[in-house]
Structure 1
Amino acid sequence: MERERKPISFGLAVVPLIIMIVAMSFTIVVFEGSPHIPLILGTIVSAFIAWRCGFSWKEVEESIYKGIRLALPAVVIIIIVGVIIGAWIGGGVIATMVYYGLKLISPQVFLMTMTIISAIVALAIGSSWSTMGTIGVAGMGIGISMGIPAPMIAGAIISGAYFGDKMSPLSDSTNLAAGVVGVDLFEHIKHMLATTIPGLIIALGVYWYLGRSFSGSDVIDGNVSEVMVSLQNNFVITPWLLLVPAIVIMLVAKKVPALPALTVGVILGFLSHIFIQGGSIGDAVNTLNDGFSISSGNEMIDSLFNRGGIEAMMYTVSLTIVAMTFGGVLENTGMLKAMVDQILKLAKTSKGLVTTAISSAFFTNVTTAEQYISVVLPGRMYVQSFKDQKLHPKNLSRAVEDGGTLTSVFVPWNTCAIFIFATLAVHPFEYAPYAVLNFVVPILSIIYAWTGFTITRLTDAQILEMNEAQDKSEQKAI
């Protein structure tokens, strides 16, 4: 006998979220454990509530699988980045980048420089993840060798990578935000300039100020010299190895998909390990799976280069899958919609509506653990509300990018933060204060909403045109 399905109320929808967050707080802060079990607990509670409200177990199970399927592209990227880190360390590519970086970049301007380089690379290739997994790893090595704290370096790299990703017409999230809301891609990017450029300027100012404390002192100079000597003793350093990252960046800039381009990087690193570093084929193969192993006698070098490989990414892969089971149940059983609908009731004015869209995007990052959902869900849900308030859709596309794309790095169980932790080896709680662009831009976006600055309104003619276009689209669908 089929049970009657009841709509899930707001009160019931928030129960699994509250339980998950409380369990997460105790697990991470008190027990110093991993977030896996709290997320599984949240999934169990949400699945039970959905079942009690009339969903069959088959439907609940399918909602879990939908969440996991959404994460599969991220899982594949995570694995390939683990392989490329192992290949590039084994091939001496990272060591060469660190060596020349130490020779050319001053500690005082290092944070600013890494932000700008990361921004340029991400703008060219349209991927913050690929930027952090390649240029970012080398940047961590250079900065740590200079005596700069790892959270500061990670924050600078993240700020630059997300600026470039957000402003690139090649970026998945940028295209997604424009497409979901129905805005021209370049109109969407142009509208984001108003929040993102000031955010970058503020971030660079902060990094310039922080960099002042890292002078070219004897301690730093001695440490850098020791690292450079150790690199030369343990790796073959040659500028020819800089062609490896250059080729990967060029391929992605020419719109070669990320996976094939990164695979080329893996092959080049693998060959470098054998023919330039003199390693055996067996060592090179094992490095791709297990990561690179070195015992140089220099503690800093050992901590920087003993990493990479598929095995090093398994924690990240498992956490991504577990997080998406929770997010899948919340979204596909209507619990997330029940929460967002309640939030929407609070938005009575245009300024409140824009603020609500930004907040909802961040809230979706927390509940579903996936950056793309934080763009898609609010983008879909608020289109009509923005039109009713005579707000141009590009205000919404900017809001979901400012509140969703950028804030994903602050949620420890979000796929973006998980990736960063695995790649740069810095916890989100540590780099959060230094990822300046990522928290300044949403704040600016909310300030703009309340002051009306750069908020574009629709004319009656534009509303009529949009309604006619929608009617034609619906007729074609029929």
Structure 2
Amino acid sequence: MKNEVKKGNPWALLPLGVFLVLFIGTGIISGDFGKMPVLVAFIISAAVALVFNKKVSFGRKIDIFCKGAGHSDIILMCIIFLLAGAFGNVTKSMGGVDSIVNLSLSILPPNLVVVGLFVIGCFISISMGTSMGTIVAIAPIGIGVAEKLGIPVALVLGAVVGGAMFGDNLSMISDTTIAAVRTQGCELKDKFKVNFMIIIPAAIITAIILGISTAGYKASLNETYSYEIVKILPYIAVLIGALLGVNVFVLLAGGIVLAGAIGIFTNSLDIFTFLSASSQGMIGMEDLAMIAIVIGGIVELIKFNGGIDFLLSFITSKIKSKRGAEIGIAALVSIVDLCTANNTIAIVMAGPLAKDIADQYDIDPRRTASILDIFSSCWQGLIPYGGQVLAAAGLAAISPMEILGYLYYPALMGICGLLSIVLGFPKLKSMEKEQSKIA
């Protein structure tokens, strides 16, 4: 039976409205959705939240904001972001990214070049945990392949973006995965298993479509690509450790140390460049960490003023079942991503409300985390003003709109996500039962 939900106050959502007006309005007026810094837009929204509700003293509202900003889940998420940034930059600095790309190209099937690029993108993105980094690494190679074989550049870039979004959605060190599991209170390995079962058909179908659509283009890449297997070990260690359930702090810290040790052993780094690479990686995640902290404070004020109660009341009034609740969560994170063009921010914003809905309708947190990640990543890989499509189009000097017709994987990921909700797949044993078996 559903719990009683307070009607709340719709005006408490004004800070979010201000953010959307600032972000989307600036993008529409300037033609560039990157013109308005996201953190600045959220700071202004936070100011609006602080002046709302004159019945409460300003000092009390500051306390409420700080309570939300300093919530243990938010701080843990920020620390994990910093560690993930350090791991990514250290492995890149010691040559891990180049080794993964070159190893993948060395084993690329000569008659399945575009399919191979898609698979390479999947492998690299799940190893690196970043779709943008994957696109920057292999899009230039894809462009060269397209020009050499006469394949439409947009088709090849669609395959590259699709592969990049595969790992962005699944990787153990992806900021979207970290945000999804932290907001829903489940383990990385558990979310990975559920998420993988839902989206693997999308990857397989994408590979088949790419294979059929490029069957007439056959050639081999004659260049020799050098790589060092030892430099790929940190990625493999993190993936295996995550699947075995190693604590995420131990996992990432161990990965950083292992990558640094390999870099020093292979003379790719010394102790000081290792420390510098770690620092630079953390600095690269500072914006995201600060955004998460500010959003935490804003959400707490919105909750205090009745905004969350209003959203819950509105959404649950349209929901008649657990399946309807899952569709509501999917719609919620999709709308936020379409508005913000950032799937991590979409999850951080929608996560607390999704958690409330999931608790009310007894939805497994592993499933909720998967829904959040799948639908935010799906739209992030499809919108022409998203960073991923813009980066790919920019590297090829073509319009983002040209790539849209070839974004098979993000579209299929969304379809598989919807089918998983409609069909109730996969069937999950309760977390309590699994934990009792382990005990």
Return the match for 1:289 from 279, 287, 306: 279
- Residue equivalent to 2:14: 15
2:84 corresponds to: 81
Q: CA deviation at 1:21?
A: 0.6
Partner of 1:473: none
Q: May I ask how many residue pairs the two structures share in their alignment?
A: 382
The amino acid of 1:20's aligned partner reads F
Closer, same or farther: CA 179–76 of 1 in aligned 2, 3 Å: closer
Are 1:158 and 2:130 counterparts? no
Alpha-carbon spacing, 1:73–1:350, altered in 2? closer, same or farther (3 Å) = closer
1:380 matched to 2:360: no
Q: Which residue of 1 aligns with 2:140?
A: 144
1:26 is aligned to: 25
* 1:336 has 2:308 as partner: yes
Residues 1:310 and 2:282 aligned together? yes
- 1:272 aligned residue: 262
Greater RCO structure (CA 8 Å; 6+ sep): 2
- Gap change, CA 1:174 and 1:35, over 3 Å in 2: closer
Structure-1-length-normalised TM-score: 0.61
**Any stretches of 5+ residues in structure 1 without a counterpart?**
1-5, 123-130, 291-308, 387-392, 457-478
Structure 2 distance, partners of 1:108, 1:96, is 20
Among candidates 69, 72, 75, match of residue 67 of structure 1: 69
Partner of 2:291: 319
**Which residue identity does 1:408 align to in structure 2?**
S
Q: CA offset at residue 179 of structure 1?
A: 7.3
What is the one-letter code of the residue matched to 1:9? N
Matches within 5 A, 1:440-455: 440-443=412-415, 453-454=423-424
Q: CA 1:331–1:246 in 2, change beyond 3 Å: closer, same or farther? A: same
Q: CA deviation at 1:399?
A: 7.2
The question of whether the paired residues in 2 share the 8 Å contact of 1:98 and 1:139 is answered with no
Contact persistence 2:117–2:142 (CA under 8 A): no
Pair 274,67 (structure 1): closer, same or farther in 2 beyond 3 Å: same
Query: CA–CA distance in 1 between the matches of 2:325 and 2:59?
Result: 36
| Separation of aligned partners in 1, 2:48 and 2:217 | 49
User: 2:239 aligned with 1:249, yes or no?
Assistant: yes
Distance 1:376 1:109, change over 3 A: same
1:97 aligns with 2:87: no
State the 1:455 CA deviation. 9.1
Structure 2 partner of 1:261: 251
Q: Go from structure 1 to structure 2 and tell me whether the alpha carbon gap of 1:179 and 1:138 turns closer, same or farther (over 3 Å shift).
A: closer
8 Å CA contact 1:111, 1:208 repeated in 2:
no
How do residues 106-145 of structure 1 correspond to structure 2 at under 5 angstroms? 106=109, 107-114=113-120, 117=123, 131-133=127-129, 137=133, 141-145=137-141
User: What is the percentage of aligned positions where both structures have the same residue?
Assistant: 14
Q: Is the 8 A contact 2:50 2:61 kept in 1?
A: no
Shift of 1:42: 1.6
1:406 equivalent in alignment to 2:374? yes
Deviation at 1:24, TM superposition (A): 0.6
Structure-2 change in CA distance of 1:321 and 1:240 (3 Å) = same
**What amino acid is the match of 2:82?**
I
Structure-2 change in CA distance of 1:143 and 1:336 (3 Å)? same
- Contact kept in structure 2, 1:67 and 1:325, CA below 8 Å: yes
Cα deviation, residue 94, structure 1:
2.3
1:40 aligns to 2:13 (yes or no): no
Q: Where does the alignment leave 5 or more consecutive residues of structure 2 unmatched?
A: 1-5, 146-155, 394-398, 427-439
Q: Report SS of the residue matched to 1:52.
A: coil
**Structure 2 residue identity aligned to 1:61:** D
Rate the CA distance shift 1:85–1:211 in 2: closer, same or farther, 3 A: farther
Deviation sequence 1:250-299 (CA, Å, 0-9, x none): 33333222222222222232233333126543333333324xxxxxxxxx
My pick for the range that moved more, 329-338 or 131-140, is 131-140
- Provide closer, same or farther for how the CA distance between residues 202 and 253 of structure 1 changes in structure 2, counting only shifts above 3 A: same
2:19/2:42 contact within 8 Å kept: yes
